[in-house]
Structure 1
Amino acid sequence: MRRAHPAAAPPTPPLAIGRRERGARHWWAKRCTTLRAVGIPFVATTPVARMIRATARQQWRLLAVNVVSTVLLAVTEFGSFAVIFRAAGLLAGAPPSGPWGLATLPQDTLFLVYLSAALVLQLLASGSRYLNGITAGYFAARCQACITPELHRHILSLSYACASRFKVGDLVHRATVSPQAVQLEIEQLGRICSNLMLVLAYVAILAVLSPALLLVAIALGGAVAALQRTIRPRLARASGVLEGRRREVAARITEDIQLLRLLHSSAATGGAQRQVAAQMASLEAPMRQLSRLMSIQEPVSDLLPVVAALLIVGLSWQLFGGSAETLIPKLVTFVLALQRLNLRLIQTAASFNQLAENSGRIEQLDDLLQTGDKSFRRQGGSPFTGLRHGVRFEAVGLRFEARAEPSLTAIDLWIPAGSTVALVGPSGAGKSSLVDLLVGLQDPSSGRVLIDNVDLCSLDLDSWQRQLGVVSQDVLLLNASIRDNIAFGSADSNVAAIEAAARIAGAHGFIKELPHGYATAIGERGYRLSGGQRQRLSLARALLRDPQLLILDEATSALDSHSEHGIQQALAAFQGPRTVLTVAHRLSSIVQADQIVVIEQGRIVEQGRHQELLATGGAYARLWLRQSRAGQRAE
């Protein structure tokens, strides 16, 4: 099948690339792969990464405040520990010391100054941490506000054929989960940046206190990193498996809700419940694995500082010679800094774990947003201004990838403007496929569909479809009022026009008998209405558009013969200069058609008027005879 061009395909790089540029691209690709593997995906060239970078450029002031608050937090933490070290020295009996003449102050006064400075620095640190958190949250909220409409736009921009490959529940699950996944990703990345800045501050403090004891802190960080290196790939794999199974469960539940009438009418609710229960049971193993991997980090990280503290006490005694004035302030400051360092390492590791656990949702969002393997609704083209001559199918063929046989083969058909053309034939003959080609839901695999001698593929699809009124056998209704359902796609219609369309469609009578008339809510997919009533609403919706081309795909199949005859008379009065293409199962409804086209196995086998086709004694005559006999037996 010919595929529409992607609406936003990534630009193709130039063919002539120098050796230095190729080397730079190769280096950058390797760095992106490495950073993505450790849980930082936004440096990559994925759709989500591009969206976040675009939002970052728009919100640079917010990010600048975030960076400043992060640096300020690290500086105030460093200053707090410097003050604590001085205060601890005073408590241990060390002589007063400090900049700006502080050494001349009395010991009690100097101690109060140190306490006050520590309090001010901690207040600044708390304010910086708060500012850092809200700016990261604001940026995440901005990205979520961007990704939700972008995801909705992307799904709606997919071609009908491409979107039909997805399960509805799968798309709903991705659209629901992905925005929260993006927000979590950004928030965790912000926490990682903040914690790493603090880690650098604590390492600097430890280095100033004792380069030898810094080795203990480095060993502590190395142990945490080694643990993370072991855990994170397993987390990512388990997350991918779990997210895939969650998608399957969401798709199954959505399908069950869509098929609720069928499940209840065929006593199949028990089987549906067992299938969902079995799928949920399959979630248990990957969820347990995730729980084991996520839980191992904290107890190990809590144990490491205790071991490190014991080593520090012993090493400090040896390094500082047992002098209380030297040992106590350094030991107190060092242990406190090490404890804060360990806390930041734990939080950083937890953030990386969250990124790894979230990677499955981000990857499924990237997969959906990728454009290379998808076809998109056609954009642009010549505007359609009106049907003057007619529609022509020239050697049109249609083949689907999943089917061995083509749906349509060498279709040659002329539909003059202002005429009524009927398509008949057995189920699966290709009638609906031909309608899909005319509407623009599919592109022909071969041949052309010409509108006034202009290829439909070169027309602006929106302007063409606005002039169509389509009524299908599978009626699609909103869970809204009758008025909203009729006015769908014609937002500017007034009450008088809605009622006029309902009268022509034979719906006004039953609507007025409902408790709230046109304001009556009809429930999901119109379950409160009968099949015939739903078809009448769908027909009224199409007529309200005042279309130039009215397409009726077995639009009256749920009506009895008397109701169908009344609607046919109303349509004949409504038609005027309009063109009508009708797909009919009941042949009695099309005897007045200007042209009847018989399709079998994807080919046109006969075409002509009713009496002409009966006279030939071919496929149409056999169908007419079969239905006539069935009607006589029914009587």
Structure 2
Amino acid sequence: MLNKLMHSPSHKSILRLLRNSMASTTPMAHLLHDTARQHWRLLMLYLLFVLLLSFSEACLFATIYQTMRLLLGAPSFTEIAGFGFTQGQRLFLLLFLISALQMVASMSRAIAGILSGRFAASCQRSILPEIHRYILSLSYGCVSSFKIGDLSHQATLAPLTINTEIDERIRLLTEGLLALIYSLVLFVISPWLLLMAGFLGFCIILTQSWLRPRIRLAALAVEQQRRNISGTITADLQVLRLIHTNACQEDSNRRFANEVEVFDQKLKKLSNLRSLLEPIAELLPVLAAVLLGTVSWILSDQQNGLLIPGLATFVLALQRLNIRLAKLALSLNALTENQPRVEILNQLLTPSGKIFRRQGGTPFSGLKEAIVFKNVSFRYSSRQEETLTSISFTIPRHGMVALVGPSGSGKSTLSDLLIGLLSPTFGAILVDGKDLQTLDLSSWQNSLGVVSQDVLLIHDTIAANIAFGSPVVPSPEAIRHAATAANADGFINRLPQGYDTMIGEHGHRLSGGQRQRISLARAMLRNPEVLVLDEATSALDSHSESAVHAALDSFSHGRTVLAIAHRLSSIRHADTILVIDAGKILERGTHDELIAARGAYADLWERQVHGLSRPHLHKQL
């Protein structure tokens, strides 16, 4: 749906009405149009029953009018038409018609309500996956700039926002049609009284026009504060361990209570404005009905027997018109309150200023020569200074390049560039002479195995976490083999459900070392051609680290490896070691060459192995 926002021709008039009700250039307008087009049968059926409701309501009032004339001795339609019915038969026929028409109207209203509910459910089913797909279509760097709570809130409310826009606009159409029918009834009875009723409608519209902008601003403030509350809850849940570790429950509760207090004040303001709408819409018509009835009685030169049916029908129709006007006011109010959510969704769905995940390109068919970083520089959009400056090095096929340096030096940024999560600001990454930007990103990433110090696990079984992201559905034997290679099979078998054990959100039921071994098993299962190791053994104890290092050494054989390490013993056999600091390469060479150079790397090695350091070199790292 979202990928066809600019290409959705319509062949249905109701769909054109829905499409044209908003500016055609906004993403929300195209999404509205696509949603209406996708569910046009349901919408047309809904509209059909609403029209049937309108028709039955009109016939009902005509029948009531004839019945009252008959009861007061005035000639009825059946008598004028010469059907020859007795008065009792005419009365029975009219009462039967009233019952039948009311039944048709009630059933039409009920079926229309059911169809409206089904449409809302259909919106939920079709829009939520589209919003989810759209968010995942954004580049990693772009989507990382959003607050998680905001994205979750917007994605969850998107179906409600779309459904409200379409449903309330249809309601405006149908309630307006019913109001027109009642106005025609009033016109038939007395054009002069209808003129007075029109003045009443003008007063209501004037009141609405004064209230709606204020309601919109109040609704915008409420929606923004609702997002803040959602973001606060999400943020607290993400750092729940930190809150419990530092006994910050009261601080978090106090901060959240302040957010809720602000929300309460803004919601009360919106509620105060909203509460004025319906009473005004109800009070003015009643006062007008009394006034109109009194004036028409005084000024009428008809006999009372002829006046009473018309006046009674007029008051009843005016009362129904009042209900329609009140519902029109509520629909306008609902659209006004929905407008802030529409604007927020428009901001999310507007492509301008956003970077999307690269699509298409040349499929990656395997590394034949080398990966070359050629004068690569990178700067995050939120920063002025460069994170990486003119980085150049080569990773030969089946070779290993290791990166060492202090935290924040740019090592992880280099690995993110190689993975394709980020794109160079300047320079290029060449894969067998081809710019990485020209390769199909999915096929490139399917050839990678990534083990990061920040282990990411999903709330599922251990087997599902190991199999996550595998290009093909792995067999249980393949999963077990990968776990064994990562030194994870032992602790997994000791768990009550073994490989079917649910690990909890972010794997909180496992230790740090266990989580990292599952991450290793996941990478091994993919059988990657290029291996990216970002502190792959940082959370392991010495015994497990030794076993996993042996597994990694064996697994890395015949693969192209980029490794990031603080423990230099794990990368001493790398073909090339790069010492990175402040986004620049300070030193490069093999372990022996760097030790012989007695520079920053040698100082770091001495500190790790012997606990010695040279102060002037220590400052560099």
Match of 1:145 in 2: 125
Whole-angstrom CA distance in 2 between matches of 1:177 and 1:153: 15
Give per-residue Cα distances to partners, 1:48-85, cap 9 Å, x unaligned. Answer: 22122123233333333333333332222221111111
**Post-superposition shift, 1:102?**
4.9
Query: In the alignment, is the contact (CA less than 8 A) between 1:423 and 1:598 conserved in 2?
Result: yes
Match of 1:238 in 2: 218
Whole-angstrom CA distance in 1 between matches of 2:534 and 2:46: 58
Q: Secondary structure at the match of 1:593?
A: coil
Pick the aligned partner of 1:270 from 250, 255, 259: 250
The residue identity in structure 2 corresponding to 1:412 is S
**Post-superposition shift, 1:454?**
0.8
**In the TM superposition, what are the counterparts of 1:316-395 in structure 2 within 5 Å?**
316-321=296-301, 323-395=303-375
Whole-angstrom CA distance in 2 between matches of 1:307 and 1:283: 37
Match of 1:3 in 2: none
Q: Secondary structure at the match of 2:324?
A: helix
Going from structure 1 to structure 2, the CA distance change for 1:214 and 1:148 (only over 3 Å counts) comes to same
Match of 1:19 in 2: none
Whole-angstrom CA distance in 2 between matches of 1:50 and 1:138: 21
Pick the aligned partner of 1:48 from 8, 11, 28: 28
Query: In the alignment, is the contact (CA less than 8 A) between 1:224 and 1:301 conserved in 2?
Result: yes
Match of 2:618 in 1: none
Matched, 1:195 2:171: no
Query: In the alignment, is the contact (CA less than 8 A) between 1:550 and 1:578 conserved in 2?
Result: yes
Q: TM-score, normalised by structure 1?
A: 0.91
Match of 2:96 in 1: 116
Whole-angstrom CA distance in 2 between matches of 1:193 and 1:309: 25
Whole-angstrom CA distance in 1 between matches of 2:272 and 2:603: 69
Matched, 1:163 2:143: yes
**Post-superposition shift, 1:352?**
1.2
Going from structure 1 to structure 2, the CA distance change for 1:102 and 1:227 (only over 3 Å counts) comes to farther
Give per-residue Cα distances to partners, 1:193-223, cap 9 Å, x unaligned. Answer: 2111100100000001000000221122112
Matched, 1:310 2:290: yes
Whole-angstrom CA distance in 2 between matches of 1:389 and 1:259: 44
The residue identity in structure 2 corresponding to 1:511 is I
State the identity %.
49
Match of 1:26 in 2: none
Match of 2:13 in 1: none
The residue identity in structure 2 corresponding to 1:496 is E
Query: In the alignment, is the contact (CA less than 8 A) between 2:373 and 2:429 conserved in 1?
Result: yes
Going from structure 1 to structure 2, the CA distance change for 1:302 and 1:513 (only over 3 Å counts) comes to same
Q: Secondary structure at the match of 2:611?
A: helix
Query: In the alignment, is the contact (CA less than 8 A) between 2:486 and 2:517 conserved in 1?
Result: yes
Pick the aligned partner of 1:627 from 594, 608, 612: 608
The residue identity in structure 2 corresponding to 1:316 is S
Match of 2:460 in 1: 480
Query: In the alignment, is the contact (CA less than 8 A) between 1:564 and 1:589 conserved in 2?
Result: no
Pick the aligned partner of 1:612 from 593, 600, 608: 593
Whole-angstrom CA distance in 2 between matches of 1:69 and 1:10: 30
Going from structure 1 to structure 2, the CA distance change for 1:270 and 1:96 (only over 3 Å counts) comes to closer
Query: In the alignment, is the contact (CA less than 8 A) between 2:391 and 2:584 conserved in 1?
Result: yes
Going from structure 1 to structure 2, the CA distance change for 1:583 and 1:62 (only over 3 Å counts) comes to same
* Bigger shift: residues 573-582 or 323-332: 573-582
Pick the aligned partner of 1:57 from 37, 42, 51: 37
Aligned residues: 603
Going from structure 1 to structure 2, the CA distance change for 1:93 and 1:340 (only over 3 Å counts) comes to same
* Bigger shift: residues 292-301 or 387-396: 292-301
**In the TM superposition, what are the counterparts of 1:380-459 in structure 2 within 5 Å?**
380-459=360-439
Pick the aligned partner of 1:553 from 528, 534, 544: 534
Match of 1:23 in 2: none
* Bigger shift: residues 172-181 or 184-193: 184-193
Q: Secondary structure at the match of 1:555?
A: coil
Match of 1:577 in 2: 558
Matched, 1:83 2:63: yes
Query: In the alignment, is the contact (CA less than 8 A) between 2:78 and 2:85 conserved in 1?
Result: no
**Post-superposition shift, 1:593?**
1.2
Matched, 1:538 2:505: no
**Post-superposition shift, 1:46?**
2.1
Query: In the alignment, is the contact (CA less than 8 A) between 2:78 and 2:90 conserved in 1?
Result: no
Whole-angstrom CA distance in 2 between matches of 1:631 and 1:41: 74
Going from structure 1 to structure 2, the CA distance change for 1:102 and 1:390 (only over 3 Å counts) comes to farther
The residue identity in structure 1 corresponding to 2:475 is N
Query: In the alignment, is the contact (CA less than 8 A) between 1:96 and 1:104 conserved in 2?
Result: no
**In the TM superposition, what are the counterparts of 1:92-107 in structure 2 within 5 Å?**
92-98=72-78, 101-102=81-82, 104-107=84-87
The residue identity in structure 2 corresponding to 1:559 is L
Match of 2:510 in 1: 529
**Post-superposition shift, 1:233?**
1.0
Matched, 1:517 2:498: yes
The residue identity in structure 2 corresponding to 1:535 is Q
Going from structure 1 to structure 2, the CA distance change for 1:318 and 1:483 (only over 3 Å counts) comes to same
Going from structure 1 to structure 2, the CA distance change for 1:68 and 1:519 (only over 3 Å counts) comes to closer
> Could you say which structure has the greater relative contact order, defined with CA pairs below 8 angstroms and 6 or more residues apart?
1
**Post-superposition shift, 1:568?**
1.6
Pick the aligned partner of 2:271 from 291, 299, 320: 291
Give per-residue Cα distances to partners, 1:157-179, cap 9 Å, x unaligned. Answer: 01000000011111111111221
Going from structure 1 to structure 2, the CA distance change for 1:140 and 1:270 (only over 3 Å counts) comes to same
Whole-angstrom CA distance in 2 between matches of 1:141 and 1:576: 53
Query: In the alignment, is the contact (CA less than 8 A) between 1:384 and 1:460 conserved in 2?
Result: yes
Pick the aligned partner of 1:508 from 489, 492, 497: 489
Whole-angstrom CA distance in 1 between matches of 2:159 and 2:50: 26
Match of 2:281 in 1: 301
Pick the aligned partner of 2:154 from 174, 177, 182: 174
Query: In the alignment, is the contact (CA less than 8 A) between 2:606 and 2:612 conserved in 1?
Result: no
Q: TM-score, normalised by structure 2?
A: 0.93
Whole-angstrom CA distance in 2 between matches of 1:76 and 1:9: 40
Whole-angstrom CA distance in 2 between matches of 1:135 and 1:102: 43
* Aligned residues: CA RMSD: 2.2
**Post-superposition shift, 1:452?**
0.9
**Post-superposition shift, 1:186?**
2.4
The residue identity in structure 1 corresponding to 2:182 is Y
The residue identity in structure 2 corresponding to 1:428 is G
**Post-superposition shift, 1:144?**
2.8
Match of 2:443 in 1: 463
Going from structure 1 to structure 2, the CA distance change for 1:481 and 1:60 (only over 3 Å counts) comes to closer
Whole-angstrom CA distance in 2 between matches of 1:547 and 1:332: 83
Pick the aligned partner of 1:205 from 173, 181, 185: 185
Match of 1:496 in 2: 477
Q: Secondary structure at the match of 2:271?
A: helix
Whole-angstrom CA distance in 1 between matches of 2:295 and 2:88: 32
Query: In the alignment, is the contact (CA less than 8 A) between 2:278 and 2:329 conserved in 1?
Result: no
Q: Secondary structure at the match of 1:95?
A: coil
Give per-residue Cα distances to partners, 1:124-183, cap 9 Å, x unaligned. Answer: 222332343333333333333221111000110010000000111111111112212222
Going from structure 1 to structure 2, the CA distance change for 1:11 and 1:66 (only over 3 Å counts) comes to closer
**Post-superposition shift, 1:383?**
0.2
Query: In the alignment, is the contact (CA less than 8 A) between 1:70 and 1:128 conserved in 2?
Result: yes
Match of 1:27 in 2: none
The residue identity in structure 2 corresponding to 1:60 is W
Whole-angstrom CA distance in 1 between matches of 2:135 and 2:38: 24
Give per-residue Cα distances to partners, 1:526-585, cap 9 Å, x unaligned. Answer: 112211111111111111100001111011111233422221211122223111111001
The residue identity in structure 2 corresponding to 1:557 is S
Give per-residue Cα distances to partners, 1:498-544, cap 9 Å, x unaligned. Answer: 11111111111211222222122222211122111111111111111
